[in-house]
Amino acid sequence: MVNARESKYLDVIFITVCIVIIIVCLLPMVTLLARSVSSPEYLIRNQVTLWPKGFTLDAYRYVLTDSKYTWSLLWTTMLTVAGTLLSLFMTTLAAFPLTYDKLKGRTIISSLILFTMYFNAGTIPMYLLLKDIGLLNKPLVLIVPYCLSVFNLILMRNYFYTIPASLRESAEMDGAGPVRILLSIYIPLSAPIIATLALFYAVGRWNGFSDALMFMNKREYFPIQLLLYNLINAVSSLETYSTEGFTQPGLSESLKAAAIMFATIPILFVYPWLQKYFIQGVTLGAIKE
């Protein structure tokens, strides 16, 4: 048994560890923010760490007034919203039938779905498939191919298992069909897991760039993360940004930091709205009694 004094010491240790982890997680963001609002001359001399020097908003002014960045942010927002809604729709439709014990071949179907979580054909077969069906360099190639995550499907299916079967049986006795049961019982009771998976899908879509890198050549359809990836790789010196349209000397480092902050901050506002559902959705969806 742990007495009150030992429990207090354990609480102090736990709180200390949490504070250290929080600081470690925040340090990169603080450093990036400081670099984005610092004068280029201090960045060139590597004199900026956690506090900005020579405060200036020139980098943000260049980013916000450049149409390719504002359009890319808007396009990524549309991709994130559309991709998240489609993914939730597909995940729900795939998870709900697997909760029926009387579904023929349910074990085989579940095994095949789980198999794809660990094994896949690879990038080249995916590229050839998308080419054959005409999705390459089309906006849909950034939404359709990865609209369903097997891991998230399993989470939702397991969450559906926690809903009492008696509710479904009662609805069936009243003449309700599967669609009515899903819309009237399962979805209203599944707000925690839906919010959790919405966060997973939204963050994944917002941060995604590999699919656009491999399957998209049209610059106007580049998501913000791919644009930043190209931007950072294109910088050949600390003095010019001419490759991406910026020709002001000495702005490269502050512009990189500002562009990254520009792409990071919007998705951070999503989490507080879904936080109250997050822990409940993950724990209930991951454990089946």
> pLDDT (tens digit, 9 = 90+) per residue, 77-117?
899 999 999 999 999 999 999 888 888 888 898 888 888 88
Same domain, 114 and 252: yes
Same domain, 38 and 166: no
Same domain, 31 and 99: no
- pTM to 2 decimal places: 0.78
> pLDDT (tens digit, 9 = 90+) per residue, 11-34?
888 899 999 998 888 888 888 888
How many domains is the chain built from? 2
Res 220: pLDDT:
86
Same domain, 99 and 124: yes
Res 2: pLDDT:
55
Task: Name which of 228, 241, 258 is nearest 52 in CA terms.
Answer: 258
> Is residue 214 one of the residues assigned to a domain?
yes
Res 17: pLDDT:
93
Res 245: pLDDT:
46
Same domain, 169 and 136: yes
> Is residue 282 one of the residues assigned to a domain?
yes
Would you state the structure tokens that stand for residue 267, as one six-digit string? 């998705």
Same domain, 27 and 123: no
- What value does the mean pLDDT of the chain take? 81
> Is residue 64 one of the residues assigned to a domain?
yes
Same domain, 69 and 21: no
Range in 42-56, 79-93, 117-131 the model is least confident about: 42-56
Token pair 């002001």 is at which residue? 248
* Strand, helix or coil for residue 125: helix
Same domain, 165 and 37: no
> Is residue 65 one of the residues assigned to a domain?
yes
Same domain, 40 and 66: no
Write down how long the chain is: 289
Res 236: pLDDT:
45
Range of the domain at 238: 58-286
Q: Where is mean pLDDT largest: 54-58, 165-169, 237-241?
A: 165-169
Would you state the structure tokens that stand for residue 202, as one six-digit string? 């939204």
> Is residue 221 one of the residues assigned to a domain?
yes
Same domain, 133 and 166: yes
Angle between helices 191-207 and 224-234 (to 10 degrees): 30
CATH number for the domain harbouring residue 204: 1.10.3720.10
Same domain, 64 and 150: yes
Looking at residues 49-55, what average pLDDT do you find? 81
Task: Name which of 164, 148, 261, 142 is nearest 200 in CA terms.
Answer: 148
> Is residue 156 one of the residues assigned to a domain?
yes
> Is residue 53 one of the residues assigned to a domain?
no
Q: Is 124 exposed, middle or buried (0-12, 13-18, 19+ CB in 10 A)?
A: exposed
> pLDDT (tens digit, 9 = 90+) per residue, 258-287?
878 877 777 777 777 666 666 665 565 444
107/98 Cα distance (integer angstroms): 9
Res 242: pLDDT:
45
Same domain, 32 and 140: no
> Is residue 52 one of the residues assigned to a domain?
no
